[in-house]
Amino acid sequence: MGAGIGFVKSGQQSANQNRDYLKNRSNFSQKGPGSSRTKLTFKEASPEELEARRVKLREQKHKAIKKQIFLGILLSLVLLGLIWYLLS
């Protein structure tokens, strides 16, 4: 009977910790182990590098879409075959 109280208490502690994390966050800073907050630095990319990245991302997206379509068709065929088998 007493097990439920521990779950509620741990949930409240977790919510309080998450709220504290949200209060102290900064969009582009990272807290490393044993150090204070440090700003992240990003390398400037040339237009050619940006275009190469865009092309690569587009290709990855198209591959993912093709894979989803293939799996959807395959699943549909398996389900249709199963329905046909069960109904006949």
This prediction's pTM: 0.48
Distance of alpha carbon 63 from alpha carbon 68, whole angstroms: 9
Q: What is the dihedral of CA 50, 52, 54, 57, to 10 degrees?
A: -130
25-66 tens-digit pLDDT: 664 455 555 556 667 788 898 999 999 999 999 999 999 999
The pLDDT value given to residue 54 = 96
